[in-house]
Amino acid sequence: MAKNRASRNAPFGVLVIFGLFWSGMTLMFDGILARNAIHQLRTLTYSTTQGFVTHTDLECISDDEGGSYYRPIIKYTYSVAGQEYKGERRRYDEEGFGPRTAQRMVDAYPVGRPVEVHYAPYDPAEAVLHVGLEGIDFFHAMFMLPFNLVMLGLWIAGFGKVYYRLYRPRAGGARIWEDGEKLCVRLSSWRPLYTGAIVAGALAFAGVFIVDFGRGSNPFMPVMLTAWTVIIGGGLMAYLYHHFRLGPDGCDVVIGTFGNHVTILGTQGRKETIVVPREKVISIEVEKIEKRDSDGDVSYRYVPIVAFADKAGSTQRERLVEWCNESRTEELAAWLRERLRIEPANKDASPTTTVEPL
């Protein structure tokens, strides 16, 4: 028994360790990007003066993996209150770029060109050429979006497991609500918000390569605004599509207020809605499905099944949902039996096992 409990806890422990590592790395990069963005937003309050470009160059920097990137060097002079200053900061926390992007940035500042210099009122020696956010800030946010969504997914999964263990919600954790006329049960824990987030993350992941290939890692602002419009719009459309597929009640099973009928809606792969009078329900069972992959590894799924008599008197069996947790499926079946006042056929019986073909 202790060994089985330890084996069940092992995946959760791995999830926690991986989640902490992923979250730590993601939050670290989020913090760096947020700090850079805050610095740039502060420059909107800087004073301005005219300056002149005195020197431009590209610095090639080799990384630890044998690759290289380029940093544009733009030097300029300016004066404040009769005192001359020298600067070489285009913007705060300038990073390396690919050769094409870096060369484009250098070409925009030929030597001798007059430029508008923005300097800090409290320290005129601290100056930049670009104020506010640029395309690169939105590009970095797009790059980090999939990582942040994975992090949030790990948090939701982890907190969900902890909540279930601490509070043991009814019906195996199925979402249940009542509107006065009926009792609605949503069997799937997958929500429209998750679908929208996955689509948005996938669009952001693809957008990184498309934008970087087309305009480099410092794209123009209109390019990034278009990219973010596609990401947000695509995620919203996926959310609405999933939301409307749930139907007007957003549930899978509807039980009449007095338990006089059960409605199994056309969700979870069903093509039509089934309405069964309570007195026609024969039993609610749990079927254990054995699945074997091409490598011979075995996994199990658990399916609550409603057995009922149709108009011709024949027995029909309707699967409600597939879950991977046996105890939660048994709790759902027990809750349904209680609501419909149906006794289990055999309280000590084990779930019927079905082997699915490869």
Tell me if 292 sits within 8 A of 358, measured CB to CB. yes
Q: Residue 170 has what pLDDT?
A: 86
pLDDT-based confidence at residue 155 (cuts at 50, 70, 90) = very high
Q: Residues 113-136: what's their mean pLDDT?
A: 93
Q: Residues 328-347: what's their mean pLDDT?
A: 84
| Cα angle 267-343-177, degrees, rounded to a multiple of 5 | 40
pLDDT at 8 over 60: no
More confident of the two residues 276 and 269 = 276
| Residue of 294, 33, 39, 11 whose CA lies nearest to 140 | 33
pTM over 0.85: no
pLDDT at 347 over 60: no
Q: Residue 243 has what pLDDT?
A: 84
More confident of the two residues 54 and 251 = 54
Give CA–CA dist 159/108, Å, rounded. Answer: 50
Q: Residue 344 has what pLDDT?
A: 73
pLDDT at 129 over 80: yes
Instruction: Kindly report the average pLDDT of the chain as a whole number.
Output: 86
Q: Residues 45-71: what's their mean pLDDT?
A: 86
pLDDT at 9 over 70: no
| pLDDT per position as a tens digit, 35-57 | 999 999 999 999 999 999 999 99
pLDDT at 109 over 70: yes
Domain boundaries, the chain: 2-25+137-173+188-245, 47-130, 281-355
One CATH from 3.30.160, 3.30.70, 2.60.40, 2.30.29 for 281-355: 2.60.40
Q: Residues 253-271: what's their mean pLDDT?
A: 80
pLDDT at 299 over 60: yes
pLDDT-based confidence at residue 166 (cuts at 50, 70, 90) = confident
| pLDDT per position as a tens digit, 191-243 | 899 999 999 999 999 999 998 876 666 788 899 999 999 999 999 999 998 88
pLDDT-based confidence at residue 245 (cuts at 50, 70, 90) = confident
pLDDT at 316 over 70: yes
